[in-house]
């Protein structure tokens, strides 16, 4: 029986549930191939970063369920989930992944819009007359 490792990655409003198992390097996101879900190559690279760092792109099959957020947040949430899964599979990879910053939760969130102004910090233009 193949062991499937299940982890969660989060970034902004995006949540990625990641399932990693030994395989031949296929990455599936919401039942679509990586190239279809993220057509831009930069986001494909972001998702693959943890695997590239440990030279394991062809060693693992990754299935990801992504919900919430935008394209960048989803890509970075997936990256974090994959990195956490790799740590569970092999604890010796942890220092390398941590050094590259893949295990740190980026806690920056959008500040809420305040009442009586157009944005979180922006104010309506003041008119004296």
Rounded to whole angstroms, the Cα distance separating 88 from 74 reads 21
Decide: 2 and 38 in contact? Cβ < 8 Å: no
pLDDT digits (tens, 9 = 90+) for 64-118: 999 999 999 999 999 999 999 999 998 899 999 999 999 999 999 999 999 999 9
What are the residue boundaries of the structural domains of the chain, listed by start? 5-99
Residue 10 has pLDDT above 80, yes or no: yes
Q: Tell me, what's the pLDDT at 129? A: 87
| Average of per-residue pLDDT values in the chain | 93
Q: Which of 1.10.10.10, 3.30.450.40, 3.30.230.10, 1.20.1530.20 is the CATH number of 5-99?
A: 3.30.230.10
Count Cβ atoms below 10 Å from residue 78 Cβ, excluding itself: 31
**pTM assigned to the model:** 0.90
Q: What are phi and psi of 59, to 5 degrees?
A: -95, -20
């Amino acid at each position: 029986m193949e062991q499937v490792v299940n982890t969660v990655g989060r970034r902004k409003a995006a949540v990625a549930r990641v399932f990693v198992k030994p395989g031949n390097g296929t990455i599936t996101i919401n039942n679509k191939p990586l190239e279809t879900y993220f057509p831009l190559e930069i986001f494909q690279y972001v998702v693959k970063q943890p695997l590239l760092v440990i030279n394991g792109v062809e060693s693992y099959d990754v299935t990801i369920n992504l919900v919430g957020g935008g394209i960048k947040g989803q890509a970075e949430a997936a990256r974090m989930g994959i990195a956490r899964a790799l740590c569970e599979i092999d604890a010796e990879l942890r220092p390398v992944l941590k050094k590259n910053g893949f295990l740190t939760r980026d806690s920056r969130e959008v500040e809420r819009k305040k009442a009586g102004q157009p944005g979180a910090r922006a104010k309506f233009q003041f008119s004296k007359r």
